[in-house]
Chains A and B, each alone.
Chain A
Amino acid sequence: MLIIVCPFCGKRPEIEFTYGGQAHITRPERPSELDDQAWAEFLYMRSNTKGIHAERWRHARGCGRFFNALRDTTTDHFVATYRIDEPQPQIEQPAEPVPPP
């Protein structure tokens, strides 16, 4: 079981958290103006990164708040966790650029 650092509560075991998928995907402001391909990109296409992955987590059985994390998907090592109003930390092995929705 992983130990995850909640930015608000500190170190807690993995079972207190729920996973929220790839981070920094912004919901389009005017969905009705998107064509089908762009909408499918927003809904379904994911980077599925092998390496440092920016992702959302929620401390569901703790403070209940969402936050973001950088995790290496080849080791499950958490490189950083940060609040959703903070920018993604810059690290040596950058995550794949997030495509526009």
Chain B
Amino acid sequence: MSRQNFSALSLLWRGLSRHGGWREQWRKPEPKAAYDAIIVGGGGHGLGAAYYLAKEHGIGNVAVLEKGWIGGGNTGRNTTIIRSNYLFNESAALYDHSVKLWEGLSQELDYNVMFSPRGVMMLAHTVHDIQVFKRHVHANRCNGVDNEWLEPEQAKAFCPPLNISSDIRYPVLGAALQRRGGTARHDAVAWGYARAADALGVDIIENCEVTAIRRDAGGAVEALETTRGVIRSHKVGVSAAGHTSVIMAMAGVRLPLESYPLQALVSEPIKPIFPCVVMSNTIHAYISQSDKGELVIGAGTDAYTSYTQRGALHINMHTLDAICELFPNFRRLAMLRNWGGIVDVTPDRSPIIAKTPVPGLYVNCGWGTGGFKATPGSAHVFAWTMARDQAHPINAPFTIERFRDGYLIDEAAAAAVAH
């Protein structure tokens, strides 16, 4: 089945025929008995990895196994913030690789992922914040990542709803702005990668949960037992976000991960008022406005590990307190929806994209509360790692062994919060 391309002409043509001729964006194949490679987890990271395996490494006989449906996990639950202004060289390289791929992704996939580099502004509320953010600005400039310091008046000019008066509990003392940062449509990222991977021959198999990992006499991966039968492959990449520990335990691999609920919520839709993304790590609020007009608000993680895909109410209230103080205009808005996703957090808040002690088993995990921004870059280097059985230079530092060897990439300490 050939892929239907999108263009102004094709949209007009289909419109004239009452949009009757659109086909499904990807097939619903039965799983084959064996594949050259299998990705466990059909989120953006996993679908992207399958796409790059087929596109850049010539491995088209690939399956993506998803226990639920495409776009139903964290890919559809995040607040869609994209930025790369991380402190350490390793992180800057990884996240900026991703931002560069975001910039051309709609063209690459022939699918509008609505990447909108509207600027991400991170607020400083204390002297410590100012010092940390200025350090980030300088470190980023050394790494070729754009980031600039704004005084409160400049921050207000960039984001007019912002309250910069000095009589609030945590006054805005300045901000760091990454203009290349922004947002994208999260569902479209999953759908775009799924469609593009499918066109290259990748089988996307939904409602297929992995229940066991079979290994041969030498310990290498041999097959996966799933709710849709046994599927053989000698190359398995696990990209399962909050459930990574559960999957990897099937192969006897322990990881430095803990899974927490992370919540977000959206307001009723209003006319365009909010031109950028604003983050405040110190008082824990993240906000932008979607193209539908809803204010998209991110809260923090719960204090305890959980797989419930919910979260405690007081966590949201804490974030809404901060939003109401920073943006008094929004105090009367009703919140429409609230949900949670399960994020896998590492001790240093940096991801793991690596080979594992089990031959043929690879893992892409530990993205914690900030994985969406990394989707294309993470998928790209994970596919490289799986195809060549060695790390791409960008993900070479992001091993499991860094916790044994003491080479942490400590963005946890750099940002002082999860991010």
Instruction: Tell me the A residues contacting B by CB distance below 8 Å.
Output: 1-2, 14-15, 18-19, 21, 36-37, 39-41, 43-48, 50, 53, 55, 71, 73-76, 99
Cα–Cα, bound, A53→B292 (Å): 41
**Contacting A76 at CB < 8 Å: which of B243, B245, B308?**
B308
Cα–Cα, bound, A47→B246 (Å): 9
Residues in chain A near residue B254, CB distance under 8 A: 41, 45, 47, 99
26 contacts between A and B (CB under 8 A): A1-B313, A15-B314, A18-B303, A19-B303, A39-B404, A40-B256, A40-B403, A40-B404, A43-B403, A44-B256, A44-B403, A45-B403, A46-B256, A46-B257, A47-B254, A48-B246, A48-B255, A48-B344, A50-B243, A53-B305, A55-B305, A71-B304, A73-B259, A74-B308, A76-B308, A76-B310
CB distance from A36 to the nearest CB of B (A): 5
Q: Are the CB atoms of B314 and A48 closer together than 8 Å?
A: no
CB distance from B392 to the nearest CB of A (A): 24
Residues in chain A near residue B304, CB distance under 8 A: 19, 55, 71
Cα–Cα, bound, A44→B305 (Å): 15
Q: A74-B307, A76-B306 are in contact. Are A48 and B404 (CB under 8 A)?
A: no
Q: A1-B314, A50-B307, A74-B307 are in contact. Are A36 and B405 (CB under 8 A)?
A: yes
The size of the chain B interface, using a CB distance under 8 A, is: 25
**Contacting A45 at CB < 8 Å: which of B256, B307, B405?**
B256
> Closest residue to A44 on the B side, CB-wise?
B256
B16-36: CB near A (< 8 Å → 1, else 0) gives 000000000000000000000
Residue B258 at the chain A interface, CB threshold 8 Å = yes
Q: Are the CB atoms of B404 and A37 closer together than 8 Å?
A: yes
CB distance from B31 to the nearest CB of A (A): 24
Q: Are the CB atoms of B312 and A1 closer together than 8 Å?
A: yes
Q: Are the CB atoms of B245 and A48 closer together than 8 Å?
A: yes
Residue B347 at the chain A interface, CB threshold 8 Å = yes
**Contacting A2 at CB < 8 Å: which of B245, B312, B344?**
B312
CB distance from B395 to the nearest CB of A (A): 19
Most interface-central of B259, B305, B344 (chain A CB within 10 A): B305
Cα–Cα, bound, A19→B258 (Å): 13
Q: Are the CB atoms of B308 and A48 closer together than 8 Å?
A: no
Cα–Cα, bound, A53→B257 (Å): 14
Q: Are the CB atoms of A73 and B307 closer together than 8 Å?
A: yes
Q: Are the CB atoms of B404 and A73 closer together than 8 Å?
A: no
CB distance from B265 to the nearest CB of A (A): 17
CB distance from B8 to the nearest CB of A (A): 47
CB distance from B81 to the nearest CB of A (A): 25
B208-247: CB near A (< 8 Å → 1, else 0) gives 0000000000000000000000000000000000010110
Q: Are the CB atoms of A45 and B255 closer together than 8 Å?
A: yes
Residues in chain B near residue A76, CB distance under 8 A: 306, 308, 310
**Contacting B308 at CB < 8 Å: which of A14, A40, A75, A99?**
A75
CB distance from A25 to the nearest CB of B (A): 13
Residues in chain A near residue B258, CB distance under 8 A: 21, 46, 48
CB distance from B97 to the nearest CB of A (A): 26
Residues in chain A near residue B257, CB distance under 8 A: 46, 48
Q: A44-B256, A48-B344, A73-B259 are in contact. List 14 more A-B contacts (CB 8 A).
A: A1-B313, A21-B258, A43-B347, A45-B255, A46-B256, A46-B257, A46-B258, A50-B259, A53-B305, A71-B304, A73-B305, A73-B306, A74-B307, A99-B254
